[in-house]
């Protein structure tokens, strides 16, 4: 009999007062009993709207049925057919817009907690599965993967399983892309990402860090001199945007990428870190996406009072619902319908050597109201006359979005890109150059982990077809 | 791994190290830099490529001990390996079409000025190297500059080496005596570069300055290295490190460079204490 409780089994979480002072994972995960109880809420409906909502088409009701029976290994096998990174996606997917957004149970109550179940199954697998993977027989073909974010990792994994000799080239000293430098530990423990990468290495994937493709080596050299027959570009969208308002280069103004990289990749939150980060008293984070929430919640954990400044309304915040809720519980203040116009800094005219000179003291903002709908169909925010005010802060973090880094384009002959920098690629990820595929944020612009992973898998299948036909 | 092949103390606080990094050596050009970490959990620090040898895979860096990481690096020895070493990053010095250039270096910045002078000299360009140090004990690369320039002008603040005075004094004298440069290239402390650029601009000579702001990734991903040049925000690690000196907002750059001064001083003192204990 289905469990007809209209509400999800609540996710056990660290208490908000405690967690807003540490970097440990916020959501603790279901127990086996909670997972089985939640799984019984699934009606196993015939037309499976949830599957249609999943960007990689996981057979959701099937895996949930296994969970309900307590067959967690079976559930894992079903998920793994479609997803390379379930422990990651279970934690960071915007389920409310995808599978759970389509769930029939969501019409009269809360949808089945598909994301939480996915996470449960993946964590169960990581804790219980026997480690030994069989290395597939080599098929003699070499493929290069550039970038080690979810797109690159998924592509490398699928190709390695088919016997390709895959080398992943990563610019930073650590593999994982946004999963290690952007998304914080309290939302996605780095040990999980590490485990995925160890898994790839066990399959024979070679991970070469400290290699900036386009600088250290070019794609053409990889293909012509080093014998790679196909290349997958998964270099993400790492180039931060600024607003272009006065005062953006004052001390205490960060791009979210810088702030998060200092904290996540360089561990600046630890007392013994050699990398500094400002421990501000009052921080304004400009933007409303996941990146803004992550930056805000990190700043909170470093001890600041934190404001999210976003020019549209609460309803329009593009971040995952759960992150917004967690941020509010942690005491982050949302100043929506609010737009910065200038960042103010300290200036002691009498003493040019005053060490406080050039540090942020506040941010000038205007209030907004919603006007006519714009091209995206969302009502366009317009400035409310005479609403200017100063938000007193000593640090500002710009989380306005990112675009692809132009390096690959500028160093790869004949690689077509869009005006905004995205690499042009077809459904399978094939670019304008034979033998070169691309996927993830490098193609779509900043999007999601699951879309990047899906693009990596699609490209892996296409590369396999290409090289087998050669 | 990135093995230290050779280590040489150039003066009490400046060290030269050869690192085995064949992929970097293969692509390196003067003006570019690398980022290294001494150990896992270490900080990422940028250092300019002072020299390289494509055949042997050697990359030379010259650094001044100014903080915890350079202190730690200075305690490493031949045979030790660096954790990470990535490059070459940034754009190479533009040398095309230059026939007569003044290369103005100050302090440890001379380590960066030297490969530029060497490259220009090898291309047959007339190079006037104006190099300045606080005093004689701090002089580095004296012989290298003499061998790789048409003329070497030596300046020191206290007169203990070469002529007493600032590099700007020497540059002014040369320009006023009728030397006509296609370009002035300057590398050194920000305040020095600010005045060199102002001087060159005043005399209508194009001036290029090599900037070294705080960096993390060095790939254009964080924007921490941003500067204002001609009123536009640029990222030194990918758009530079060299920029048109007449357009750089030096005052802003000077201010930004002090962002973490307290933190760095604190860490440096800690690491000095740590090393002092190890020695005891
Ligand atoms: C703070 C933050 C929070 C996010 N939260 C979520 C979330 O909750 N849910 C969600 O679904 N999505 C989230 N996203 C978006 C998601 O992380 C990205 O869409 C996804 O990581 C894109 O994957 P990718 O593989 O395309 O690129 P990336 O993860 O960006 O990886 C690209 C990798 O390529 C490397 N690289 C770049 N250029 C080169 C080069 N020239 N040579 C070698 N290597 C190179 C980079 O260093 C990087 O490691 C978030 C993003 C950020 C920044
Ligand atoms: S160092 Fe991060 S963008 Fe330049």
Indicate if A301 and A330 belong to the same structural domain.
Answer: yes
Rounded CA separation A168/A406 (Å): 20
Prior bond to B272 cis, omega within 30? no
Report the CATH number at residue A378.
3.50.50.60
In a domain, A4, yes or no: no
pLDDT at position B274 is 64
- Evaluate whether B2-89 and B100-257 have a shared fold: no
A244 contacts on B by Cβ (under 8 Å): 233
CA torsion angle for A391, A397, A400, A405 (degrees, to 10)? 160
We report the CATH number of the domain holding residue A66 as 1.10.1060.10
For B26, name the nearest residue in chain A, comparing CA atoms only.
A216
- A202 and A179 share a domain? yes
* Residues of chain A contacting B221 with CB distance shorter than 8 Å: 181, 238-240, 257, 261, 405
Which pair of tokens denotes residue B161? Answer: 């080496």
CA of A89 to the centre of ligand 1 (A): 13
Q: Do B228 and A212 touch (CB under 8 A)?
A: no
In a domain, A7, yes or no: no
How is A50-64 classified by DSSP, letter by letter? HHHHSTT---HHHHH
In contact, A283 and B247? CB cutoff 8 Å: no
CATH topology of domain B100-257: Rossmann fold (3.40.50)
Residue A1 lies in a domain: no
Point out the ligand nearest to the CA of residue B35.
2
Residue A434 CA to ligand 1 centre (angstroms): 25
**What is the C-alpha to C-alpha distance for residues B193 and B207, in angstroms, rounded to an integer?**
10
The residue among A66, A100, A128 that closes a domain is A128
Q: CA of A173, closest CA in chain B: separation in Å?
A: 7
For residue A230, the enclosing domain spans 142-238+403-469
Number of domains into which chain A is organized: 3
Q: Are residues A156 and A271 in the same domain?
A: no
- State whether residue A173 is helix, strand or coil: coil
Average pLDDT over residues B28-51: 93
Q: What is the percent of chain A where pLDDT is above 90?
A: 88
- Domain spans in chain B, listed from the N-terminal domain onward: 2-89, 100-257
Does one domain contain both A274 and A377? yes
Domain boundary at A400, A422, A456, which? A400
Tell me: do A160 and A284 sit in the same domain.
Answer: no
Residues 6+ apart with CB under 8 A from B51: B58, B59, B60, B114, B115, B118
CATH of B2-89, one of 2.60.40.10, 3.30.420.40, 2.40.30.10, 3.40.50.2020: 2.40.30.10
Rounded to a whole number of angstroms, the distance from the CA of A214 to the nearest CA of chain B is 10
Q: Convert the pLDDT of each residue in A379-408 to its tens digit.
A: 888 999 999 999 999 999 999 999 999 999
Same domain, A422 and A329: no
Ligand nearest to the CA of residue A438, numbered in listed order:
1
**What value does the CA radius of gyration of chain B take, rounded to a whole number of Å?**
18
Q: Omega of the bond prior to A27 within 30 degrees of 0, cis? A: no
Residue keyed to tokens 């009728």: B178
**Is there a domain that residue A210 lies in?**
yes
My answer on whether A153 and A283 are in the same domain is: no
CA distance between the termini of chain B: 30
With both helix axes pointing from N to C terminus, report the angle between A321-329 and A290-301 in degrees, rounded to the nearest 10. 20
Are A309 and A261 members of one domain?
Answer: yes
Out of B217, B226, B267, closest to residue A261 by CB: B217
Contacts of B42 in chain A (CB under 8 A): 274
pLDDT value at B268 more than 90: no
CA atoms within 13 A on the CB side of B152: 20
| A24-28, A64-68, A268-272, B100-104: least confidently modelled range | A268-272
CA proximity to B230, closest of B219, B241, B245: B245
3-state SS assignment for residue B257: coil
Q: Is the overall model pTM greater than 0.90, yes or no?
A: yes
Longest dimension (CA), chain B: 58
- B36 backbone φψ class: left, alpha, beta (φ>0; ψ -120 to 50): beta
Instruction: Render A95-157 in DSSP notation, one character per residue.
Output: GGGTHHHH-THHHHSPPP-HHHHHHHHHHHHHHHS----PPPPP-S-EEEEE--SHHHHHHHH
pLDDT at B275: 63
Same domain, A264 and A177: no
Phi then psi for residue A148, to 5 deg, are: -115, 30
pLDDT score of B180 more than 60 = yes
Alpha helices (H) in B75-109, listed in sequence order: none
- Find, among B125, B120, B221, the residue nearest to A173 by Cα: B221
Averaged pLDDT, A432-450: 96
CA distances from A215 to A379, A394, B27 (A): 43, 37, 8
Q: Which residues of A touch B222 (CB under 8 A)?
A: 240, 255, 257-258, 261
Nearest to B206 by CA among B278, B75, B98, B61: B98
Q: What is the pLDDT of residue B263?
A: 79
Query: Does this complex have an ipTM over 0.95?
Result: no
Q: How confident is the model at residue A130 (pLDDT cuts 50, 70, 90)?
A: confident
Atom of ligand 2 nearest to the CA of B224: 2
Output the furthest CA–CA distance in chain A (Å, rounded): 78
């Amino acid at each position: 009999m289905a469990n007809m409780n209209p509400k999800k089994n609540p996710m056990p979480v660290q208490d908000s007062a405690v967690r807003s002072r540490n970097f440990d994972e916020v959501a603790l995960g279901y127990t086996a009993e909670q997972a089985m109880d939640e799984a019984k809420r699934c009606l196993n409906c015939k037309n499976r709207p949830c599957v249609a909502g999943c960007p990689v088409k996981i057979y959701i009701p099937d895996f949930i049925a296994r969970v309900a029976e307590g067959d967690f290994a079976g559930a894992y096998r079903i998920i793994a057919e479609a997803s390379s990174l379930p422990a990651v996606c279970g934690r960071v997917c915007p389920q409310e817009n995808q599978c759970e957004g389509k769930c029939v149970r969501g019409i009269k109550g809360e949808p089945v907690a598909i994301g939480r179940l996915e996470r449960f199954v993946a964590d169960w697998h990581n804790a219980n599965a026997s480690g030994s993977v069989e290395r597939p027989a080599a098929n003699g073909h070499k493929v290069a993967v550039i970038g080690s974010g979810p797109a690159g990792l998924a592509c490398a994994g699928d190709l390695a399983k088919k016997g390709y000799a895959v080398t992943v080239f990563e610019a930073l000293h650590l593999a994982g892309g946004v999963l290690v430098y952007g998304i914080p530990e309290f939302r996605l423990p780095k040990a999980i990402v590490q485990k995925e990468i160890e898994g790839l290495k066990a399959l024979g994937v070679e991970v070469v860090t400290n290699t900036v493709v386009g600088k250290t080596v070019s794609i053409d050299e990889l293909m012509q001199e080093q014998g790679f027959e196909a290349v997958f570009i998964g270099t993400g969208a790492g180039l931060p945007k600024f607003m272009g308002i006065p005062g953006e280069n004052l001390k205490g103004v960060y791009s979210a990428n810088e702030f998060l990289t200092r904290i996540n990749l360089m561990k600046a939150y630890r007392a013994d870190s050699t990398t500094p980060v400002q421990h501000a008293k009052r921080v304004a984070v400009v933007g409303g996406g996941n990146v803004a929430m992550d930056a805000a919640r990190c700043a909170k954990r470093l001890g600041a009072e934190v404001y999210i400044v976003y020019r549209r309304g609460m309803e329009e915040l593009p971040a995952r619902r759960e992150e917004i809720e967690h941020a509010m519980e942690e005491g982050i203040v949302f100043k929506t319908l609010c737009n910065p116009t200038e960042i103010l800094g300290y200036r002691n005219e009498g003493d040019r050597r005053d060490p406080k000179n050039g540090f942020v003291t506040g941010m000038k903002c205007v209030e907004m109201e919603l006007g006519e709908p714009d091209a995206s169909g969302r009502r366009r925010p317009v400035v409310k006359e005479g609403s200017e005010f100063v938000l007193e802060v000593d640090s500002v973090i710009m989380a306005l979005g990112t675009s692809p880094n132009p390096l690959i384009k500028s160093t790869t002959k004949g690689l077509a890109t869009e005006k905004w920098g995205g690499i042009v690629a077809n459904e399978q990820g094939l670019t304008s150059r034979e033998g070169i595929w691309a996927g993830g944020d490098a193609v779509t612009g900043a999007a999601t982990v699951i879309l990047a992973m899906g693009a990596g898998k699609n490209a892996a299948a296409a590369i396999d077809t290409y090289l087998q036909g050669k | 791994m990135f093995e230290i092949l050779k280590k040489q103390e150039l003066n009490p606080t400046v060290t030269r190290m050869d690192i085995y990094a064949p992929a970097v050596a293969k692509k390196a050009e003067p003006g570019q830099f690398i980022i290294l970490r001494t150990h896992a959990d270490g900080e990422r620090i940028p250092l300019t490529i002072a020299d390289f040898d494509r055949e042997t895979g050697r990359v030379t860096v010259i650094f001044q001990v100014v903080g915890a990481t350079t202190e730690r690096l200075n305690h490493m020895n031949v045979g030790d390996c660096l954790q990470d070493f990535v490059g070459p990053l940034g754009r190479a010095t533009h040398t095309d079409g230059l026939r007569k250039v003044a290369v103005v270096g100050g302090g440890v910045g001379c380590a960066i000025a030297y490969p530029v002078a060497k490259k220009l000299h090898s291309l047959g360009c007339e190079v006037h190297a104006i190099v300045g140090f606080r005093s004689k004990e701090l002089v580095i690369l004296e012989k290298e500059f003499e061998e790789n320039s048409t003329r070497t002008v030596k300046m020191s603040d206290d007169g203990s080496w070469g002529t007493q005075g600032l590099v700007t004094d020497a540059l002014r004298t040369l320009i006023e005596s009728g030397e006509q440069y296609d370009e002035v290239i300057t590398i050194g402390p920000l305040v020095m570069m600010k005045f060199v650029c102002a001087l060159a601009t005043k005399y209508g000579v194009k001036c290029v300055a090599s900037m070294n702001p705080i960096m993390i990734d060095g790939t254009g991903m964080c924007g921490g290295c941003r500067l204002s040049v001609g009123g536009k925000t640029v990222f030194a690690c990918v758009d530079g490190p060299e920029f048109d000196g007449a357009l750089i907002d030096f005052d802003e750059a000077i201010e930004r460079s002090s962002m973490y001064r307290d933190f760095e001083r604190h860490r440096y003192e800690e690491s000095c204490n740590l090393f002092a204990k190890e020695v005891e």
